[in-house]
Amino acid sequence: MKASIPARANSFDEALARERCRRYRRRILDISQQVSALHIGSAYSCTEIVDCMYHALIRNNANGSPRDTFLMSKGHGCMIQYVILEELGILSRADLDAYCTPNGRLGVHPDYGSPGIVAATGSLGHGLSMACGMALAEKGRKTGNVIYTVLSDGEVQEGSTWEAVMMASSLRCDNLVAAVDNNDFQSLGRTSETHPSFYPLLDKFRAFGWEAVEVDGHDSRAIFEAVTEREGSRPFMLVAKTTKGKGVSYMENVPIWHYRSPNKDEYSRAVEELEAAR
Amino acid sequence: MRNTFSEVLYQEASRNPDIYIVVADISPAGSMSKFSMQYPERFINVGVAEQSMIGICAGLALKGCRPFAYTIATFSLYRPFEMVRDDLCYQNLPVTVVGMGAGVIYSTLGGTHHTMEDIAIAGAIPNMQIVAPCDPAECTEATRWCAQQKNGPVYLRIGKAGEPDLTRGADPWVFGKLRYLRRGADVCILTYGVITKMAMALADRLAARGKSVSVVSVHTVKPLDCEGIIAALSGHRHVIVIEEHVPQGGLAPQTKQIAWDIHAECRLDTFTLQDHFIHNYGSHDDLLAAHGLSIAKIAQRIGLD
């Protein structure tokens, strides 16, 4: 059965999605050369998820403004959101050029008040409750609008996230679609090794009354289909299995790339890899 | 006061469909059950999950709603502190965090249920406003204001039950302006919240000794009415601050600071909760007395007896 609330697109063009994601990774890589540090690995691991939400799931009003809402709960991954907002014309090239500088308005975490940013995040464990409140407001007004949010897997360790998980299903937030960017990495190593009881994730969300599906988080079509084919009477959790640093081989699953910017040589190698993926 | 709050919020909610109340498993006092019956979709009980209470309020406010978060003061402010700071204050959202039973009102529940540092904690956060009414009538005005204001977050510090009316005949309540409950020429007592009752009783004692006494409800603790405080310090020979809060970060040190800045010449005495946890049980008055806040002790300190 199709979800009661439809997505924007009826069909999904995988090739277009692949090219967009390659372009976004390249743009983030270029911006990395302006600053000493940005969460490049965290942005690369959720690139396909955020791309799919913005380009295939979120619906627009007649005037082109977004009807549905995107909230980046894992604020440290917001480079992918910035480059998408730039392409959509919501942020400007000048905004991205001035990233993390005194003349700019964009920092390492998304700030409420910046164009296209609906909530200030960065401290983990805040986004899902806010998304739940937003979903309730939309339900109260019977708008049929959907709230999309992306969580990091480390963020799912926060007790506050589980409060929100309990509340969203207890309050029947059927207009809430969340994804966990399950790259299995935190600052101090692999979550599956440091916190084995963290898994299995899927069962935990289901036990709390969510509709939950696991997909390959770099398979854009799988993400699109899982969300659009949800049953839709409960909040929906996409457990997206991802690779931290996805797209640049030397970054993949190497914790230092949670934060570091590549040096010149590393940058050139990354460019080669991303261009070869065309 | 909590029944007054509930009734006024119910009235405001019947006029404004954007008003929500998000409670954390608190027994529905007074009109709260009327609210939940009449507007079930706008009455949200998160259970014992205060972080989500604040986060959900933030999400509602980000979509243009006017939510109130409501539970016992320790749990509405301390437990979800970072959500209050980041979600409400940093984003400057018009959410009211209601701290019910603040101070040592929960006098038999022990220190875990005492809210002794809330003014310092809430007041330290940029954008946060603090309103602490002294009686049901002030609670009515304050609640109505919270439901209609658009400035940003508010910490509404209220009592529990049984507060006497203290403001009959006083000047109108205005946010940000202190309020004379009685006017005199010699002594001025600055106070706020439930302990205003003690200030009024002390004023009676002073009046019986021939003093002409002002009692002032500093109901808006942040932003503080500095001009009003200056006028009180300048217009009386003796100013007394009484507050149900630790010595740090409340009205007492702020009044001293203002007094220093203006080279005030009046005598200034402050009476607050002590800077330590107590392990006493009994009535609200018993606990205040254990902290040194009683008519007898204050009268002794100011040389009245």
pLDDT in tens, B278-300: 999 999 999 999 999 999 999 99
The answer to whether residue A8 sits within a structural domain is: no
Nearest CB to B59; choose among A134, A160, A163: A134
The answer to whether residue A5 sits within a structural domain is: no
Q: Which residues of A touch B (CB under 8 A)?
A: 112, 118-120, 123, 125-126, 128-140, 159-160, 163-164, 166-167, 171
Say yes or no for a CB contact (<8 Å) between B65 and A112.
Answer: no
Report the C-alpha gap between A175 and A104 in whole angstroms: 34
Q: Mean pLDDT, to the nearest integer, of B64-72? A: 97
Of B272, B293, B275, B296, the C-alpha closest to B284 is B293
The answer to whether residue A56 sits within a structural domain is: yes
The beta-carbon contacts of B182-185 under 8 Å, at least 24 apart in sequence, are B182/B213, B182/B214, B182/B215, B183/B214, B184/B211, B184/B212, B184/B213, B184/B214, B184/B236, B185/B212, B185/B235, B185/B236
Provide the β-strand partners of residue B213: B187
Nearest CB to A119; choose among B52, B82, B91: B91
Of B140, B131, B61, B136, the C-alpha closest to B93 is B61
Q: Mean pLDDT, to the nearest integer, of A181-195? A: 92
Report the C-alpha gap between B131 and B154 in whole angstroms: 7
Report the C-alpha gap between B227 and B231 in whole angstroms: 6
Query: Residue A1: its pLDDT value, please?
Result: 42
Hey, how many other C-beta atoms are within 10 angstroms of the C-beta on A35?
12
The answer to whether residue A7 sits within a structural domain is: no
**Range in A74-78, B25-29, B185-189 with the lowest mean pLDDT:** B25-29
Instruction: Using a pLDDT cut of 70, give the percent of chain B over it.
Output: 99
Interface test with B, best of A158, A163, A208 (most B CBs within 10 A): A163
DSSP state of A156: G
**Domain count across chain A:** 1
* Band (B241; pLDDT cuts 50, 70, 90): very high
Calculate the average pLDDT of chain A: 95
Minimum Cα–Cα distance from A112: chain B residue: B91
Q: Mean pLDDT, to the nearest integer, of B24-51? A: 91
Domain encompassing residue A43: 14-276
Minimum Cα–Cα distance from B84: chain A residue: A126
Say yes or no for a CB contact (<8 Å) between A126 and B86.
Answer: yes
pLDDT at residue B35 greater than cutoff 90: yes
Hey, what domains does chain B have and what are their CATH numbers? 2-157 (3.40.50.970), 179-301 (3.40.50.920)
Report the C-alpha gap between A119 and A132 in whole angstroms: 13
pLDDT at residue A3 greater than cutoff 60: no
Q: With contacts defined as CB-CB under 8 Å, which chain B residues touch A134?
A: 59-60, 62-63
Pairing, β B154-157 against β A69-72: unpaired
The DSSP annotation for B13-73 comes to: HHH-TTEEEEESS----TTHHHHHHH-GGGEEE--S-HHHHHHHHHHHHHTT-EEEEEEEH
C-beta of residue B180 within 8 angstroms of C-beta of residue B134? no
Q: Mean pLDDT, to the nearest integer, of A201-216? A: 98
Nearest Cα of chain A lies from the Cα of B60 at a distance, in angstroms, of 5
A17-51 pLDDT, tens digit each: 999 999 999 999 999 999 988 899 999 999 999 99
Say if residue B223 is preceded by a cis peptide, omega within 30 of 0: yes
pLDDT at residue A135 greater than cutoff 60: yes
pLDDT at residue A73 greater than cutoff 70: yes
Say yes or no for a CB contact (<8 Å) between A123 and B86.
Answer: yes
A230-240 pLDDT, tens digit each: 999 999 999 99
The answer to whether residue A203 sits within a structural domain is: yes
Q: With contacts defined as CB-CB under 8 Å, which chain B residues touch A129?
A: 51-52, 54-56, 58-59, 83, 87
Say yes or no for a CB contact (<8 Å) between A119 and B62.
Answer: yes
The amino acid at A244: K
Structure tokens at A164: 């929100």
* Band (A5; pLDDT cuts 50, 70, 90): low
Q: With contacts defined as CB-CB under 8 Å, which chain A residues touch B51?
A: 125, 129, 159-160, 163
Say yes or no for a CB contact (<8 Å) between B59 and A135.
Answer: yes
C-beta of residue B71 within 8 angstroms of C-beta of residue B29? no
Query: Residue A4: its pLDDT value, please?
Result: 57
Say yes or no for a CB contact (<8 Å) between A138 and B55.
Answer: no
We report the CATH number of the domain holding residue A212 as 3.40.50.970
The answer to whether residue A2 sits within a structural domain is: no
* Band (A6; pLDDT cuts 50, 70, 90): low
Nearest CB to A134; choose among B42, B47, B62: B62
Of A96, A100, A12, A107, the C-alpha closest to A56 is A12
Of B117, B122, B136, the C-alpha closest to B29 is B136
CB contact burial A84-111 (16+ within 10 A = b; e otherwise): bbbbeebbeeebbeebeeeeeebebbbb
The answer to whether residue A265 sits within a structural domain is: yes
Report the complex ipTM.
0.95
DSSP state of A260: B
